[in-house]
Structure 1
């Protein structure tokens, strides 16, 4: 990553990150930073809104409505995860590119072990697709 993690604008989101276990928090903060960096490289996305949805940090594109919500959280199985809307094709398209590279949870999440070394280029593709999901795709 090339830029610093952006400051929290919402105290509730900051408190939620502070409540995550130390080992998972590191990976979740890496994902958070990657979401902001990816959005910054995609001008049609516009500014991101960071909020809580279902108690999880969530990232939306309210100005442009270009994207589908991305959430970060802790799966029951342990570790940490990135979630996308399960009624989209975001994760199934990603899984077709990387069928054996990740631990998938249906069409809604990729789970990581606490000590996982995140493949940022690959995860960046997932984030890019989620942030641009509602933009008109070329024919």
Structure 2
């Protein structure tokens, strides 16, 4: 883990940091298991950002005004959130066309979350498929 990523993670409260680390681990595991290429990990818009060569970037963050959740952001000009809402309407809490709110206590508990991350990390391979191949 690069120093800038570790430094950013150290700015969060313990429970939020733990949830973000779990989500980070899930993103990296999915990319490796599905051979999606190297994962670029950086800070974008002051948020942790993850992308693969043929995917759409994912960003993750925590906000003090919603302390029991972390946010998973998708690029707002993709069909990702609209498709996730259609396929998984009651599995997640969505905000607009770019954000999924995740309870910090249930990060890796849902296979649907892993599925959404997988689709985002290979978005440019599936963007023309009905429902992104979900």
- Which TM-score band (shorter chain)? 0.7 to 0.9
| Contact 1:34-1:120 within 8 A present in 2 as well | no
Matched, 1:50 2:48: no
Partner of 2:10: 18
Seen in structure 2, the aligned counterparts of structure 1 residues 100 and 19 have a Cα distance that, compared at 3 Å, is same
Which portions of structure 1, spanning 4 or more consecutive aligned residues, are displaced by more than 4 angstroms? 136-139
Offset from partner CA, 1:82-126 (integer Å, 9 cap, x none): 111011111111111111121111111111233335434111111
Partner of 1:34: 26
Seen in structure 2, the aligned counterparts of structure 1 residues 104 and 41 have a Cα distance that, compared at 3 Å, is same
Question: TM-score of the superposition, structure 1-length normalised?
Answer: 0.82
Question: TM-score of the superposition, structure 2-length normalised?
Answer: 0.85
Using the TM superposition, give the Cα deviation of residue 77 of structure 1 relative to its aligned residue in structure 2, in angstroms: 3.1
Using the TM superposition, give the Cα deviation of residue 27 of structure 1 relative to its aligned residue in structure 2, in angstroms: 1.2
Q: CA RMSD in A?
A: 1.8
Distance 1:32 1:133 in 2: 18
Q: Structure 1: any 5+ residue segments left out of the alignment?
A: 1-7
Say which SS state the counterpart of residue 19 (structure 1) adopts: coil
